Amino acid sequence: MLLLAAYGLLAWHALHGKRSLEYQAQVREKLRLAQEENDDARLRREELQRRVARLREETLDMDVLDEEARRQLGYIAEDEVLVLPAE
């Protein structure tokens, strides 16, 4: 009887304890979500780095400078159409 109780306790911990299969699945899901967030942040950072590179003095792109200045200042001429990227 005592052996059966010990087996039952081990089985319960294998299914529901800190190192159980259920807990490992939850940890894997959290890891997957964190990796997705990391990938999204990396892509955003690379995009921002490309924009900053085009604004450096030695490679200044006047169109990018004009676009950024208008966006920051909120200036649009009457004959222009403003198209903002979805964020």
Sole residue written with tokens 């892509």: 43
Sole residue written with tokens 């294998």: 14
Greater confidence (82 vs 48) lies with 48
Indicate the number of domains in the chain: 1
Residue 43 CA to residue 34 CA, distance in Å, equals 14
pLDDT single digits (tens) 10-54 = 888 777 777 778 888 889 999 999 999 999 999 999 999 988 887
Q: Decide if 62 is inside a domain.
A: yes
Which residue range(s) make up the domain with 27? 15-73
Residue-wise DSSP of the chain: -HHHHHHHHHHHHHHHSTTSHHHHHHHHHHHHHHHHHHHHHHHHHHHHHHHHHHHSGGG--HHHHHHHHHHHHT---TT----PPP-
Q: Decide if 23 is inside a domain.
A: yes
pLDDT single digits (tens) 60-72 = 778 878 877 887 8
